[in-house]
Structure 1
Amino acid sequence: MNVKAPPRLEDFPYRQTDNVRFGDLDPNHHVNNATYATYFETSRVSLIRHPEFGLMPKGLSWVLAHLAIDFRAEVHWPGVVELGLAVSRIGRSSVSYEQVVFHNGVCAASAAAVTVLVDQVSRKPTALPDDVVKKFRPWMRREAAIA
């Protein structure tokens, strides 16, 4: 039986923190499952739209094509969550990510996400420019694949 080791925050090259808000809670007084999608979005969008990283080619836009979340532990308010992101694959027009949310040193959720680069006018997928592929490389995991 092959048991996968739990995620470690240090394995994710892009990291940031976010606050747990009172409004993130559900009637069970823990962070609602839908809020995790927002945490994951925060780290993806912060990486992609950061002007220094150059991942937003002019006339093109990123759209989310896939998001799968595994819930691992409860998160309560008040507090801070640590968000981690690693690029796991670069395709012709898409980028795949592995993402995590940690709270008090424990992985509370992990996710797999895929974004697709589209033309802003036609809304059709478009090939990743070579310079964008190069700019994603620092955020890749060692075992990540480039198609």
Structure 2
Amino acid sequence: MTRVVFETVLEVRWRDLDAFNHVNNASYLGYIEEARVRWFKSLSHDWAGETAAPIMAAVAVNYRRPINWPETVRVELFAERIGGKSLTLGHRILAAGDEATLYCDGHTVLVWVDRGGQSVPLPENVRAACA
């Protein structure tokens, strides 16, 4: 794993649970998305601006163990690959109070596109934050 570029702490919500009383697998994706958005907002107020924005091209999630409620999780993001027009962000969800408890890991591939849907170069502030 490379250097963590961003981390955030999130509370598991009651509505995140499924019929088996643990966090539904789709909610893991929501936690990862929330971490990405918070990271982008920390880099620029105009991260999804008038000219370009990141879109998800692929996502892989390895579910390591169920998350129960109540729980506080820490989502870590790290740069796995920096391309000309894309970024592969690794992610991990851990118990906030116990780094040995890994709930999931994986990666997301993001591509920057203009409003017409054409890919554009990776923004310099994102590239710099990952270096």
Q: Which residue of 1 aligns with 2:104?
A: 109
- Measure, in 2, the Cα distance between the counterparts of 1:72 and 1:57: 32
Deviation at 1:111, TM superposition (A): 1.8
Q: Which residue of 2 aligns with 1:128?
A: 122
In structure 1, runs of 5+ residues without a counterpart are: 1-6, 138-147
| Larger Cα-atom Rg | 1
1:60 paired residue among 46, 52, 55: 52
Deviation, 1:13, is 3.6
Separation in structure 2 between the aligned mates of residue 132 and residue 90 of structure 1, nearest angstrom? 9
Decide which of 38, 43, 46 is 2:30's aligned counterpart.
38
Q: Secondary structure at the match of 2:104?
A: strand
Q: Which moved more, 1:15-24 or 1:55-64?
A: 55-64
TM-score of the aligned structures, taking structure 2 as reference length: 0.86
Q: CA offsets, 1:20-63, max 9 Å, x none?
A: 0011111111101111000111111111122xx23827411110
Count of paired positions = 126
State the shift of 1:74 in Å: 1.3
- CA RMSD in angstroms comes to 2.1
Correspondences of 1:85-104 after superposition (within 5 Å): 85-103=77-95, 104=97
TM-score (norm 1): 0.77
Structure 2 unaligned runs (5+)?
none
Correspondence for 2:4 among 12, 33, 47: 12
Identity score, percent: 26
Where 1:64 maps in the other structure, the secondary structure is strand
Deviation string, structure 1 residues 47-102 (Cα, Å, up to 9, x no partner): 1122xx23827411110111110000111111211110101111010011110111
In 2: Cα distance, 1:37 partner to 1:57 partner: 19
Cα gap change, 1:38 to 1:78, in 2 (>3 Å): same
Aligned to 1:145: none
| 3-state SS, counterpart of residue 18 of structure 2 | coil
Counterpart CA distance in 1 for 2:110 and 2:60 is 12
Q: Quote the residue 2:65 is aligned against.
A: 73
Determine the C-alpha separation between the residues in 1 that align with 2:61 and 2:128: 28
